[in-house]
Amino acid sequence: MAPALRCLVWELDNTLWDGVVCDATSGAPRPAALRTLHMLSERGIWHAVASRSDRDLTLHKLYRHGLYDMFSVIEIGWGRKSSSVVRIAQTLGLTLDTIGFIDAEPVERAEVARKHPQVRCYAARNADVLPALPDFRPVLRTGPSATPPMGFASITG
């Protein structure tokens, strides 16, 4: 049995919000994604970003919607998401089998799953059901695991 997830890594475009921030087509964060973000945070699950996008536009949007502080690590750049997931795990001191990855694009999920089969990947359309999954129910929340290390972010360009 796989351990409970400690961190969910989010793609932002078409996952946390509709549209692509670089095309100025993105709207407000999706209500279901926001509910999941907050519910998992309350359970002590950390959040991180692995996004291919313009760094400044993306950070501005996260700040504007009051979401920047929800993410422990932010990786924004044009590299492979599988590489971002590894850097996020290293930054947080987690093993890959405690990392989940959510993205709207099947190709991106497949790239992460192929490179790191221990990372559990989820389709963005299923964001609303994630809190009900056993993967997102930590058994014990004490000490550092109860409080995500909010406020420190690694940002790549």
Tens digits of per-residue pLDDT, 52-102?
998 999 999 999 999 999 999 999 999 999 999 999 999 999 999 999 999
pLDDT confidence band for 142 (50 / 70 / 90): very low
pLDDT of residue 24: 67
Q: What is the CA radius of gyration of the chain?
A: 14
Q: Is the pLDDT of residue 40 over 90?
A: yes
DSSP state of 150: T
Q: Is the pLDDT of residue 14 over 60?
A: yes
How far is it, in rounded angstroms, from Cα 5 to Cα 45? Answer: 7
pLDDT confidence band for 145 (50 / 70 / 90): very low
Structurally, at CATH architecture level, domain 7-146 sits in 3-Layer(aba) Sandwich (3.40)
Q: What is the mean pLDDT of residues 10-35?
A: 89
- What are the structural domain ranges in the chain? 7-146
How many CB atoms within 10 Å of residue 147?
11
Judged by DSSP in three states, 43 sits in coil
Q: What is the mean pLDDT of residues 7-26?
A: 89
Token pair listed for 107: 């190709």
Integer angstrom CA distances of residue 50 from 15, 76, 133, 155: 11, 6, 22, 10
Q: How many helices (H) and strands (E) does the chain have?
A: 4, 5
